[in-house]
Amino acid sequence: MAVSGGVGAARVACPTAEKTLAYIESHPLGDDMPSRDRRRIVEELARRLNQLDFEERQRVQFAKPLRHMQATMTEEERLLYIDLSLPKGMKEFAEAFNRMAPETRARHLSVAMQELERFHQRNPDLAAPDISPEVIHRVIREGTTSFFRDTSAEVKMELQPLIDRAQNIVQGAR
């Protein structure tokens, strides 16, 4: 009997894109909400997102409820979200990515963009990222260090799925 209860609890605790999206929809960031409550919601969202596998994470990142929530975040909340939700190995990836020649960065980002396009073809109900060619060229030219230092939280959030995908590609190539 204890085993079946443990299995049921594990099933409930197992993170999924659907559960994360349900959390987002049930916890809107209201204008009249105290900033500490808004912060807790953003922190919990990032925690839930970090527990998802790569494909589930992508489903959430492109879903309309998350895009809507991100649009209602303050600049401070966006920066908190980015800090908490970037993949754990992002710093190491960024350092390795910055050491690559621009041609190698361009090749990895091109593959990442193609994979994102295929992902959206398989999931047409999800919002496609709106990443400007200028942003891509800047990341290729300068790497990620100055990009993450000098860019707004909004642009960082737009680029996050591409960076996630590029990190996945580079790590898979090792």
Quick one: 100 and 24 in the same domain? no
Quick one: 79 and 96 in the same domain? no
Quick one: 100 and 69 in the same domain? no
Q: What is the pLDDT of residues 4-52, one digit of tens each?
A: 554 444 445 688 999 999 999 999 999 999 999 999 999 999 999 989 8
Looking at 35, 68, 85, the residue that finishes a domain is 85
Looking at 42, 69, 85, the residue that finishes a domain is 85
Domains contained in the chain, number: 2
Quick one: 77 and 143 in the same domain? no
Residue 130's SS3 state is coil
Question: How much is the average pLDDT of 101-106?
Answer: 84
Alpha carbon distances (Å) from 169 to 13, 107, 113, 165: 29, 11, 11, 6
Structure tokens, 99: 């050491």
Quick one: 73 and 129 in the same domain? no
What is residue 26's DSSP assignment?
H
% of residues, the chain, pLDDT over 90: 25
pTM assigned to the model:
0.67
Dihedral sign of CA atoms 62, 64, 65, 68 in order: positive
Quick one: 33 and 54 in the same domain? yes
Looking at 23, 53, 85, the residue that finishes a domain is 85
Quick one: 65 and 137 in the same domain? no
Question: Is 151 buried (19+), middle (13-18) or exposed (0-12) by CB count in 10 A?
Answer: middle
Q: Is residue 1 pLDDT above 50, yes or no?
A: no
Quick one: 95 and 166 in the same domain? yes
Quick one: 54 and 94 in the same domain? no
The residue count of the chain comes to 174
Residue 171's domain spans which residues? 89-174
